[in-house]
Chains A and B, each alone.
Chain A
Amino acid sequence: MVLIDDRELELLINDVFEYHGFDFSGYSRASLKRRVDRLIHLDGFKNFGELLYKVRTEPDYFKHMVEEITVNVTEMFRDPLFYKVLRNEILPIIGTKPFIRIWHAGCSTGEEVYSMAILLKEANLLHKSLLYATDINGLVLDVAKKGIFPLHMMKQYSENYMVSGGKKDFSHYYTANYGYAKFGEDLSEKMVFSQHNLVSDGSFNEFDLILCRNVLIYFDKELQEKALVLFDDSLAKLGYLALGTKETIKFSPLQMRFKQVDREKLWKKIL
Protein backbone atom coordinates (compact mmCIF):
# COMPACT_ATOMS: atom_id res chain seq x y z
CA MET A 1 0.00 0.00 0.00
CA VAL A 2 1.33 3.45 -0.97
CA LEU A 3 1.67 5.82 1.99
CA ILE A 4 2.56 9.41 1.31
CA ASP A 5 5.08 11.32 3.40
CA ASP A 6 4.81 14.81 4.87
CA ARG A 7 6.62 16.48 1.99
CA GLU A 8 4.30 14.90 -0.56
CA LEU A 9 1.24 15.99 1.37
CA GLU A 10 2.47 19.60 1.38
CA LEU A 11 3.21 19.36 -2.33
CA LEU A 12 -0.34 18.22 -3.00
CA ILE A 13 -1.81 20.99 -0.84
CA ASN A 14 0.29 23.56 -2.69
CA ASP A 15 -0.60 22.31 -6.14
CA VAL A 16 -4.29 22.06 -5.32
CA PHE A 17 -4.23 25.71 -4.34
CA GLU A 18 -2.15 26.78 -7.31
CA TYR A 19 -4.13 24.86 -9.92
CA HIS A 20 -7.64 24.95 -8.50
CA GLY A 21 -7.72 27.72 -5.89
CA PHE A 22 -8.86 25.44 -3.04
CA ASP A 23 -6.91 25.97 0.14
CA PHE A 24 -6.49 22.88 2.31
CA SER A 25 -3.47 24.26 4.16
CA GLY A 26 -5.53 24.73 7.33
CA TYR A 27 -6.70 21.13 7.47
CA SER A 28 -5.59 18.82 10.23
CA ARG A 29 -2.66 16.89 8.75
CA ALA A 30 -3.20 13.61 10.59
CA SER A 31 -6.64 13.17 9.11
CA LEU A 32 -5.91 14.64 5.68
CA LYS A 33 -2.97 12.30 5.21
CA ARG A 34 -5.16 9.28 5.91
CA ARG A 35 -7.72 10.53 3.42
CA VAL A 36 -5.11 10.97 0.68
CA ASP A 37 -3.65 7.51 1.40
CA ARG A 38 -7.16 6.12 1.15
CA LEU A 39 -7.75 7.90 -2.16
CA ILE A 40 -4.52 6.51 -3.63
CA HIS A 41 -5.61 3.07 -2.54
CA LEU A 42 -9.22 3.41 -3.82
CA ASP A 43 -8.19 4.70 -7.22
CA GLY A 44 -5.32 2.26 -7.56
CA PHE A 45 -2.44 4.69 -8.08
CA LYS A 46 0.99 3.07 -8.17
CA ASN A 47 2.67 6.06 -6.59
CA PHE A 48 2.13 9.59 -5.38
CA GLY A 49 3.36 11.13 -8.66
CA GLU A 50 0.49 9.59 -10.59
CA LEU A 51 -2.05 11.10 -8.24
CA LEU A 52 -0.42 14.51 -8.33
CA TYR A 53 -0.36 14.56 -12.12
CA LYS A 54 -4.02 13.67 -12.39
CA VAL A 55 -5.03 16.25 -9.79
CA ARG A 56 -3.09 18.96 -11.63
CA THR A 57 -4.34 18.19 -15.09
CA GLU A 58 -7.90 16.91 -14.72
CA PRO A 59 -10.42 19.28 -13.13
CA ASP A 60 -12.97 16.46 -12.89
CA TYR A 61 -10.52 14.33 -11.03
CA PHE A 62 -9.81 17.18 -8.66
CA LYS A 63 -13.53 17.43 -7.97
CA HIS A 64 -13.60 13.72 -7.26
CA MET A 65 -10.66 14.16 -4.92
CA VAL A 66 -12.50 16.80 -2.87
CA GLU A 67 -15.51 14.49 -2.69
CA GLU A 68 -13.35 11.64 -1.43
CA ILE A 69 -11.03 13.38 1.00
CA THR A 70 -13.83 15.10 2.88
CA VAL A 71 -15.34 12.88 5.55
CA ASN A 72 -19.10 12.75 5.00
CA VAL A 73 -20.19 10.23 7.60
CA THR A 74 -23.41 11.44 9.23
CA GLU A 75 -26.66 10.26 10.82
CA MET A 76 -30.15 11.45 11.57
CA PHE A 77 -30.50 12.64 15.16
CA ARG A 78 -26.79 11.93 15.75
CA ASP A 79 -26.32 12.34 19.50
CA PRO A 80 -30.05 12.23 20.30
CA LEU A 81 -29.65 14.03 23.62
CA PHE A 82 -28.33 17.07 21.79
CA TYR A 83 -31.52 17.10 19.72
CA LYS A 84 -33.53 16.76 22.89
CA VAL A 85 -32.00 19.99 24.17
CA LEU A 86 -32.75 21.69 20.86
CA ARG A 87 -36.33 20.46 21.04
CA ASN A 88 -37.00 21.31 24.68
CA GLU A 89 -34.86 24.36 25.31
CA ILE A 90 -33.72 26.11 22.17
CA LEU A 91 -36.67 25.93 19.76
CA PRO A 92 -39.14 27.36 22.28
CA ILE A 93 -36.86 30.41 22.59
CA ILE A 94 -36.07 31.06 18.94
CA GLY A 95 -39.65 30.06 18.12
CA THR A 96 -40.92 33.34 19.56
CA LYS A 97 -39.39 35.16 16.57
CA PRO A 98 -41.59 35.96 13.59
CA PHE A 99 -39.13 34.23 11.33
CA ILE A 100 -36.40 31.63 12.02
CA ARG A 101 -33.20 31.25 10.04
CA ILE A 102 -30.94 28.24 10.56
CA TRP A 103 -27.60 27.45 8.93
CA HIS A 104 -26.21 23.91 8.71
CA ALA A 105 -22.54 24.46 7.83
CA GLY A 106 -20.99 21.20 6.59
CA CYS A 107 -24.37 19.47 6.25
CA SER A 108 -23.00 16.50 4.28
CA THR A 109 -25.82 14.34 2.85
CA GLY A 110 -28.45 16.23 4.82
CA GLU A 111 -29.50 13.84 7.60
CA GLU A 112 -28.93 16.61 10.12
CA VAL A 113 -31.10 19.05 8.15
CA TYR A 114 -34.03 16.63 7.86
CA SER A 115 -33.73 15.91 11.58
CA MET A 116 -34.00 19.63 12.26
CA ALA A 117 -36.98 19.98 9.93
CA ILE A 118 -38.75 17.22 11.88
CA LEU A 119 -38.11 19.03 15.16
CA LEU A 120 -39.41 22.29 13.69
CA LYS A 121 -42.46 20.63 12.25
CA GLU A 122 -43.33 18.99 15.55
CA ALA A 123 -42.91 22.36 17.30
CA ASN A 124 -45.18 23.88 14.68
CA LEU A 125 -42.41 26.24 13.56
CA LEU A 126 -41.40 24.86 10.19
CA HIS A 127 -43.76 27.11 8.22
CA LYS A 128 -41.88 30.21 9.41
CA SER A 129 -38.37 28.75 9.17
CA LEU A 130 -35.68 28.65 6.53
CA LEU A 131 -32.90 26.06 6.68
CA TYR A 132 -29.77 26.94 4.76
CA ALA A 133 -27.59 23.88 4.30
CA THR A 134 -24.10 24.19 2.87
CA ASP A 135 -21.08 22.02 2.22
CA ILE A 136 -17.83 22.18 0.25
CA ASN A 137 -18.69 18.87 -1.43
CA GLY A 138 -21.21 19.22 -4.27
CA LEU A 139 -21.91 15.51 -4.48
CA VAL A 140 -23.26 15.23 -0.93
CA LEU A 141 -25.48 18.25 -1.55
CA ASP A 142 -27.09 16.44 -4.48
CA VAL A 143 -27.97 13.57 -2.14
CA ALA A 144 -29.22 15.99 0.50
CA LYS A 145 -31.55 17.73 -1.95
CA LYS A 146 -33.25 14.46 -2.78
CA GLY A 147 -33.82 13.50 0.84
CA ILE A 148 -33.32 9.83 0.05
CA PHE A 149 -31.45 7.76 2.62
CA PRO A 150 -30.73 4.03 2.99
CA LEU A 151 -33.73 2.19 4.40
CA HIS A 152 -31.62 -0.07 6.59
CA MET A 153 -30.61 2.96 8.67
CA MET A 154 -34.19 3.76 9.65
CA LYS A 155 -34.30 1.45 12.63
CA GLN A 156 -31.38 3.26 14.20
CA TYR A 157 -32.75 6.67 13.23
CA SER A 158 -36.13 5.88 14.64
CA GLU A 159 -34.50 4.92 17.96
CA ASN A 160 -32.47 8.11 17.92
CA TYR A 161 -35.62 10.06 17.18
CA MET A 162 -37.40 8.56 20.17
CA VAL A 163 -34.47 9.28 22.50
CA SER A 164 -34.56 12.87 21.25
CA GLY A 165 -38.10 13.09 22.59
CA GLY A 166 -39.98 12.24 19.39
CA LYS A 167 -43.47 10.89 20.02
CA LYS A 168 -44.71 10.11 16.54
CA ASP A 169 -44.29 7.01 14.46
CA PHE A 170 -41.01 7.85 12.70
CA SER A 171 -42.02 5.94 9.55
CA HIS A 172 -44.66 8.59 8.87
CA TYR A 173 -41.91 10.89 7.69
CA TYR A 174 -40.77 8.80 4.76
CA THR A 175 -41.94 6.42 2.09
CA ALA A 176 -39.95 3.23 1.66
CA ASN A 177 -39.01 2.08 -1.80
CA TYR A 178 -36.35 -0.29 -3.17
CA GLY A 179 -34.18 -0.15 -0.09
CA TYR A 180 -34.43 3.61 0.23
CA ALA A 181 -36.42 5.94 2.43
CA LYS A 182 -37.60 9.14 0.77
CA PHE A 183 -38.43 11.97 3.12
CA GLY A 184 -41.43 14.11 2.28
CA GLU A 185 -41.42 17.46 0.56
CA ASP A 186 -43.35 18.88 3.47
CA LEU A 187 -39.97 18.68 5.25
CA SER A 188 -37.70 19.79 2.44
CA GLU A 189 -39.65 22.74 1.08
CA LYS A 190 -38.01 25.09 3.59
CA MET A 191 -34.48 23.94 2.80
CA VAL A 192 -31.99 25.78 0.62
CA PHE A 193 -28.86 23.86 -0.38
CA SER A 194 -25.74 25.45 -1.77
CA GLN A 195 -22.02 24.97 -2.01
CA HIS A 196 -20.08 27.07 0.48
CA ASN A 197 -16.45 26.72 1.53
CA LEU A 198 -15.78 27.68 5.14
CA VAL A 199 -12.16 28.39 4.24
CA SER A 200 -12.78 31.01 1.59
CA ASP A 201 -16.46 32.06 1.43
CA GLY A 202 -17.92 34.75 3.65
CA SER A 203 -21.04 35.37 5.63
CA PHE A 204 -24.23 35.34 3.56
CA ASN A 205 -27.05 35.98 6.02
CA GLU A 206 -27.89 36.46 9.66
CA PHE A 207 -28.98 33.37 11.58
CA ASP A 208 -30.72 32.49 14.83
CA LEU A 209 -29.03 29.10 15.00
CA ILE A 210 -25.90 27.80 13.30
CA LEU A 211 -25.00 24.13 13.43
CA CYS A 212 -21.49 23.17 12.46
CA ARG A 213 -21.04 19.69 13.85
CA ASN A 214 -18.06 17.44 13.25
CA VAL A 215 -16.55 19.76 10.67
CA LEU A 216 -14.08 21.77 12.76
CA ILE A 217 -12.32 18.55 13.84
CA TYR A 218 -10.86 18.43 10.32
CA PHE A 219 -9.33 21.91 10.71
CA ASP A 220 -6.24 23.04 12.58
CA LYS A 221 -6.71 25.58 15.38
CA GLU A 222 -6.06 28.57 13.17
CA LEU A 223 -8.68 27.59 10.61
CA GLN A 224 -11.09 26.69 13.40
CA GLU A 225 -10.70 30.23 14.69
CA LYS A 226 -11.37 31.64 11.24
CA ALA A 227 -14.56 29.60 10.95
CA LEU A 228 -15.67 30.69 14.42
CA VAL A 229 -15.23 34.35 13.41
CA LEU A 230 -17.40 33.65 10.38
CA PHE A 231 -20.09 32.10 12.59
CA ASP A 232 -19.91 35.00 15.02
CA ASP A 233 -20.37 37.42 12.11
CA SER A 234 -23.33 35.39 10.86
CA LEU A 235 -25.21 35.04 14.15
CA ALA A 236 -27.92 37.40 15.32
CA LYS A 237 -27.54 38.68 18.87
CA LEU A 238 -28.79 35.96 21.25
CA GLY A 239 -28.46 33.43 18.46
CA TYR A 240 -27.01 29.97 19.10
CA LEU A 241 -23.99 28.08 17.81
CA ALA A 242 -23.98 24.27 17.97
CA LEU A 243 -20.83 22.16 17.55
CA GLY A 244 -20.13 18.42 17.63
CA THR A 245 -19.89 16.55 20.95
CA LYS A 246 -16.09 16.69 21.01
CA GLU A 247 -15.65 20.20 19.65
CA THR A 248 -15.27 23.36 21.70
CA ILE A 249 -14.83 27.12 21.47
CA LYS A 250 -12.87 27.24 24.70
CA PHE A 251 -9.53 27.68 22.90
CA SER A 252 -10.85 30.75 21.09
CA PRO A 253 -10.79 34.38 22.27
CA LEU A 254 -14.34 34.54 20.87
CA GLN A 255 -15.61 32.47 23.78
CA MET A 256 -15.95 35.78 25.66
CA ARG A 257 -18.81 36.66 23.37
CA PHE A 258 -20.72 33.47 24.08
CA LYS A 259 -22.35 31.75 27.00
CA GLN A 260 -22.47 27.96 27.04
CA VAL A 261 -25.89 26.37 27.50
CA ASP A 262 -25.47 24.04 30.48
CA ARG A 263 -22.83 21.50 29.56
CA GLU A 264 -24.06 21.13 26.01
CA LYS A 265 -22.08 21.90 22.87
CA LEU A 266 -24.30 24.90 22.41
CA TRP A 267 -23.34 28.50 22.93
CA LYS A 268 -25.55 31.58 23.04
CA LYS A 269 -24.15 34.75 21.56
CA ILE A 270 -24.39 37.38 24.25
CA LEU A 271 -22.41 40.27 22.74
Chain B
Amino acid sequence: MEKDTVTPRCKVLLIGGSAGSLEVLIKILPRLTAIPTFAIVIIVHRKSSEDSTLEELIAAKTTLPVKDVEDKVVLEPGNIYVAPSDYHLLFEKNNLLSLDTSEKVNYSRPSIDVSFESAADAFGPEVAAILLSGANSDGTHGLAEIREAGGIVVIQDPESAEIPFMPRNALENVAANYILDVEGILRYIQSL
Protein backbone atom coordinates (compact mmCIF):
# COMPACT_ATOMS: atom_id res chain seq x y z
CA MET B 1 0.00 0.00 0.00
CA GLU B 2 1.18 3.50 -0.83
CA LYS B 3 2.31 5.79 1.91
CA ASP B 4 0.56 9.12 2.33
CA THR B 5 3.74 10.92 1.43
CA VAL B 6 3.78 9.64 -2.14
CA THR B 7 0.05 10.00 -2.73
CA PRO B 8 -1.14 13.46 -3.71
CA ARG B 9 -4.04 14.74 -1.70
CA CYS B 10 -7.43 13.41 -2.76
CA LYS B 11 -9.57 16.12 -4.34
CA VAL B 12 -12.53 14.02 -5.30
CA LEU B 13 -13.96 10.93 -3.66
CA LEU B 14 -16.24 8.96 -5.96
CA ILE B 15 -18.77 6.56 -4.51
CA GLY B 16 -20.39 4.12 -6.91
CA GLY B 17 -23.04 1.57 -6.18
CA SER B 18 -26.19 -0.17 -7.24
CA ALA B 19 -28.68 -2.41 -5.44
CA GLY B 20 -27.96 -2.34 -1.72
CA SER B 21 -25.70 0.72 -1.85
CA LEU B 22 -28.21 3.25 -0.60
CA GLU B 23 -28.31 1.48 2.75
CA VAL B 24 -24.56 1.98 3.08
CA LEU B 25 -24.79 5.65 2.17
CA ILE B 26 -27.55 6.16 4.67
CA LYS B 27 -25.31 4.79 7.41
CA ILE B 28 -22.24 6.76 6.42
CA LEU B 29 -23.53 10.17 5.39
CA PRO B 30 -25.02 11.30 8.72
CA ARG B 31 -21.65 10.71 10.36
CA LEU B 32 -19.61 12.86 7.99
CA THR B 33 -19.38 16.33 9.44
CA ALA B 34 -17.00 18.18 7.15
CA ILE B 35 -14.97 17.41 4.03
CA PRO B 36 -13.00 20.65 3.63
CA THR B 37 -10.34 19.35 1.24
CA PHE B 38 -12.31 17.22 -1.18
CA ALA B 39 -15.68 16.75 -2.88
CA ILE B 40 -17.83 13.63 -2.83
CA VAL B 41 -19.50 12.52 -6.05
CA ILE B 42 -22.11 9.79 -5.78
CA ILE B 43 -22.95 7.66 -8.80
CA VAL B 44 -25.68 5.13 -8.11
CA HIS B 45 -27.90 3.33 -10.54
CA ARG B 46 -31.30 4.87 -10.64
CA LYS B 47 -34.52 4.64 -12.59
CA SER B 48 -34.63 7.11 -15.43
CA SER B 49 -38.07 8.35 -14.52
CA GLU B 50 -37.45 9.33 -10.92
CA ASP B 51 -36.74 13.00 -10.71
CA SER B 52 -34.84 14.37 -7.75
CA THR B 53 -35.92 11.88 -5.09
CA LEU B 54 -32.41 10.48 -4.64
CA GLU B 55 -30.93 13.95 -4.11
CA GLU B 56 -33.63 14.66 -1.56
CA LEU B 57 -33.01 11.42 0.27
CA ILE B 58 -29.27 12.08 0.41
CA ALA B 59 -29.75 15.70 1.45
CA ALA B 60 -31.97 14.53 4.30
CA LYS B 61 -29.14 12.33 5.61
CA THR B 62 -26.32 14.85 5.68
CA THR B 63 -25.47 18.32 6.89
CA LEU B 64 -23.03 18.77 4.00
CA PRO B 65 -24.30 20.81 1.04
CA VAL B 66 -25.75 18.58 -1.70
CA LYS B 67 -25.32 20.45 -4.97
CA ASP B 68 -27.78 20.24 -7.76
CA VAL B 69 -25.74 18.89 -10.68
CA GLU B 70 -26.34 20.89 -13.81
CA ASP B 71 -24.07 20.88 -16.81
CA LYS B 72 -20.74 22.72 -16.24
CA VAL B 73 -21.13 23.35 -12.52
CA VAL B 74 -17.84 23.68 -10.64
CA LEU B 75 -16.60 20.77 -8.57
CA GLU B 76 -15.70 22.29 -5.21
CA PRO B 77 -14.39 20.77 -2.01
CA GLY B 78 -16.87 20.50 0.84
CA ASN B 79 -19.83 19.53 -1.32
CA ILE B 80 -21.66 16.38 -2.29
CA TYR B 81 -22.72 15.92 -5.91
CA VAL B 82 -25.14 13.26 -7.12
CA ALA B 83 -25.08 12.06 -10.73
CA PRO B 84 -28.53 12.91 -12.15
CA SER B 85 -30.76 10.26 -13.66
CA ASP B 86 -30.51 9.64 -17.40
CA TYR B 87 -27.14 11.39 -17.85
CA HIS B 88 -23.56 10.21 -17.61
CA LEU B 89 -21.48 12.43 -15.36
CA LEU B 90 -18.04 13.43 -16.67
CA PHE B 91 -15.16 15.50 -15.31
CA GLU B 92 -13.35 18.26 -17.17
CA LYS B 93 -9.71 19.05 -16.42
CA ASN B 94 -10.73 22.58 -15.41
CA ASN B 95 -12.82 21.15 -12.54
CA LEU B 96 -16.20 21.50 -14.24
CA LEU B 97 -18.73 18.71 -14.38
CA SER B 98 -20.15 17.81 -17.79
CA LEU B 99 -23.21 15.76 -18.57
CA ASP B 100 -23.68 13.44 -21.50
CA THR B 101 -26.72 11.53 -22.78
CA SER B 102 -24.80 8.99 -24.85
CA GLU B 103 -25.68 5.29 -24.93
CA LYS B 104 -26.14 3.41 -21.66
CA VAL B 105 -23.07 1.57 -20.42
CA ASN B 106 -23.60 -1.69 -18.50
CA TYR B 107 -27.33 -1.04 -19.00
CA SER B 108 -26.92 2.10 -16.94
CA ARG B 109 -27.02 5.85 -17.33
CA PRO B 110 -25.48 7.18 -15.17
CA SER B 111 -22.84 4.50 -15.41
CA ILE B 112 -20.24 4.12 -12.69
CA ASP B 113 -17.56 3.06 -15.18
CA VAL B 114 -18.09 6.20 -17.25
CA SER B 115 -17.64 8.54 -14.28
CA PHE B 116 -14.74 6.60 -12.79
CA GLU B 117 -12.88 6.48 -16.10
CA SER B 118 -13.47 10.15 -16.70
CA ALA B 119 -12.22 11.11 -13.23
CA ALA B 120 -9.14 8.95 -13.70
CA ASP B 121 -8.39 10.73 -16.94
CA ALA B 122 -9.04 14.22 -15.60
CA PHE B 123 -7.49 14.01 -12.13
CA GLY B 124 -5.31 10.86 -12.03
CA PRO B 125 -3.77 10.34 -8.59
CA GLU B 126 -6.04 12.91 -6.97
CA VAL B 127 -9.00 10.51 -7.21
CA ALA B 128 -10.21 8.03 -4.63
CA ALA B 129 -13.13 5.75 -5.43
CA ILE B 130 -15.28 3.40 -3.39
CA LEU B 131 -17.37 0.69 -5.02
CA LEU B 132 -20.32 -0.56 -3.00
CA SER B 133 -22.96 -3.27 -3.18
CA GLY B 134 -24.69 -4.13 -6.46
CA ALA B 135 -25.84 -6.80 -8.87
CA ASN B 136 -24.07 -5.57 -11.97
CA SER B 137 -20.46 -5.45 -13.16
CA ASP B 138 -20.44 -1.68 -13.58
CA GLY B 139 -17.53 0.02 -11.81
CA THR B 140 -14.88 -2.65 -12.26
CA HIS B 141 -13.37 -1.20 -15.39
CA GLY B 142 -13.47 2.30 -13.98
CA LEU B 143 -11.67 1.20 -10.83
CA ALA B 144 -8.95 -0.41 -12.95
CA GLU B 145 -8.35 2.90 -14.72
CA ILE B 146 -8.28 4.81 -11.45
CA ARG B 147 -5.73 2.36 -10.13
CA GLU B 148 -3.63 2.69 -13.26
CA ALA B 149 -3.75 6.48 -13.05
CA GLY B 150 -2.40 6.33 -9.50
CA GLY B 151 -5.66 6.90 -7.62
CA ILE B 152 -6.93 5.00 -4.61
CA VAL B 153 -9.28 2.04 -5.02
CA VAL B 154 -11.57 1.04 -2.18
CA ILE B 155 -13.96 -1.89 -2.52
CA GLN B 156 -16.68 -2.75 -0.06
CA ASP B 157 -15.99 -6.11 1.53
CA PRO B 158 -18.43 -8.39 -0.33
CA GLU B 159 -19.17 -10.09 3.00
CA SER B 160 -20.65 -6.86 4.26
CA ALA B 161 -22.51 -6.03 1.04
CA GLU B 162 -26.19 -6.69 0.67
CA ILE B 163 -25.60 -7.75 -2.94
CA PRO B 164 -21.98 -8.90 -3.17
CA PHE B 165 -21.78 -9.34 -6.95
CA MET B 166 -20.49 -5.89 -7.84
CA PRO B 167 -17.71 -5.60 -5.25
CA ARG B 168 -16.73 -9.24 -5.78
CA ASN B 169 -16.44 -8.73 -9.53
CA ALA B 170 -14.21 -5.70 -8.89
CA LEU B 171 -12.06 -7.60 -6.41
CA GLU B 172 -11.49 -10.38 -8.90
CA ASN B 173 -10.26 -7.93 -11.53
CA VAL B 174 -8.64 -4.98 -9.77
CA ALA B 175 -6.00 -4.77 -7.07
CA ALA B 176 -7.75 -2.81 -4.34
CA ASN B 177 -5.88 -0.52 -1.96
CA TYR B 178 -8.48 -1.22 0.71
CA ILE B 179 -11.25 -3.77 1.19
CA LEU B 180 -13.52 -2.40 3.89
CA ASP B 181 -16.82 -2.99 5.62
CA VAL B 182 -19.23 -0.13 6.29
CA GLU B 183 -17.47 1.03 9.48
CA GLY B 184 -14.13 0.82 7.73
CA ILE B 185 -15.42 2.86 4.80
CA LEU B 186 -16.60 5.56 7.19
CA ARG B 187 -13.24 5.67 8.95
CA TYR B 188 -11.44 5.77 5.62
CA ILE B 189 -13.44 8.79 4.46
CA GLN B 190 -12.86 10.54 7.76
CA SER B 191 -9.13 10.01 7.34
CA LEU B 192 -8.94 11.71 3.96
Contacts and interface: CB of A to CB of B under 8 A. Distances in A.
Interface of A: 6, 28-31, 33-35, 71, 73, 214, 216-218, 220-221, 224, 244-248, 251
Contact of B102 (A31, A33, A221, A247): A31
Contacts of B90: 28, 30-31, 34
Nearest to B100: A31
B84 interface: yes
Interface stretch (B27-35, B91-99, B180-188): B91-99
Interface of B: 69-72, 84, 87, 90-93, 96, 98-103, 114, 118, 121-122
B43 to A, nearest CB: 14
A184 B93 CA distance: 46
Contact of A224 (B69, B72, B118, B122): B72
Contacts of B122: 30
A77 B109 CA distance: 18
Contacts of B69: 246
Nearest to A3: B121
Nearest to A1: B141
A218 B98 CA distance: 8
B92 A29 contact: yes
Contacts of B72: 220-221, 224, 251
B71 A71 contact: no
Contact of B70 (A29, A31, A34, A246): A246
Contacts of A214: 101
A216 B71 contact: yes
A71 B101 contact: yes
Given A30-B91, A31-B102, A73-B103, A247 B118 contact: no
B84 to A, nearest CB: 6
Nearest to B109: A73
B102 A73 contact: yes
Contact of A248 (B70, B87, B92, B121): B70
B92 A30 contact: yes
Contacts of A221: 72, 96
B176 to A, nearest CB: 22
Nearest to B69: A246
11 contacts: A6-B93, A28-B98, A30-B91, A30-B98, A31-B98, A34-B118, A217-B71, A217-B98, A217-B100, A246-B69, A246-B87
A37 to B, nearest CB: 9
Nearest to B122: A30
A34 B100 contact: yes
A221 B87 CA distance: 18
A217 B101 contact: yes
9 closest A-B pairs by beta carbon, nearest first, are A30-B90, A71-B102, A217-B71, A31-B100, A28-B98, A217-B99, A30-B98, A246-B70, A73-B101
Contacts of A246: 69-71, 84, 87, 99
